[in-house]
Amino acid sequence: DLSTTVAGIRLSTCIYNASGPRSGSAEALHKIAQSSAGAVLSKSATLLAQDGNPLPRTWQHTEASLNSEGLPNKGIDYYISDETISEILQSDSSKPYMVSLSGKTTADNITMLRKMVGNTKIAAIELNLACPNIIGKPVVGYDMEQMKDILDQVSQIPNLPPMGIKLPPYLDSVQFQQVATLINQYEWIQFVVSINTLGNATAVSVEAGMPYISSNDGFAGLSGPAVKYTALANVRKWRQMLRPNIDVVGVGGIVTGRDVLEFLLCGAAAVQVGTQHWSEGPKCFDRIVQELSDCMKELGHESVTSLVGTLQPW
Would you say 116 or 251 has its CB closer to ligand DHB?
251
> Does 71 participate in binding ligand DHB (rule CB under 6 A)?
yes
Per-position x/- string for 133-162, each x denoting binding to ligand DHB as judged by CB under 6 A, each - no binding? x-----------------------------
Sheet of 198-201: strand order equals 58-60, 65-67, 220-223, 198-201
Applying CB under 6 A, among 34, 58, 84, 197 the residue interacting with ligand DHB is: 197
> 207 vs 33, 54, 139, 210, 224, CA distance in Å?
41, 21, 32, 8, 24
Closest approach of Cβ 196 to ligand DHB, in Å?
4
- Single out the segment in contact with ligand DHB by CB under 6 A; choices: 5-13, 65-73, 154-162, 300-308: 65-73
Catalytic member of 131, 266, 284, 295: 131
> Does 126 participate in binding ligand DHB (rule CB under 6 A)?
no
> Does 128 participate in binding ligand DHB (rule CB under 6 A)?
yes
- Single out the segment in contact with ligand DHB by CB under 6 A; choices: 62-70, 241-249, 289-297, 303-311: 62-70
Contacts of 244 (CB under 8 A, 6+ apart): none
- Single out the segment in contact with ligand DHB by CB under 6 A; choices: 106-114, 131-139, 154-162, 172-180: 131-139
Applying CB under 6 A, among 12, 25, 67, 276 the residue interacting with ligand DHB is: 67
Q: Tell me the C-alpha distance between 218 and 211, whole Å.
A: 5
Crossing angle of helices 228-241 and 257-266, in 10° steps, is 30
Applying CB under 6 A, among 7, 14, 69, 85 the residue interacting with ligand DHB is: 69
Binding site for ligand DHB (CB under 6 A): 20, 44, 67-71, 102, 128, 130-133, 196-197, 221
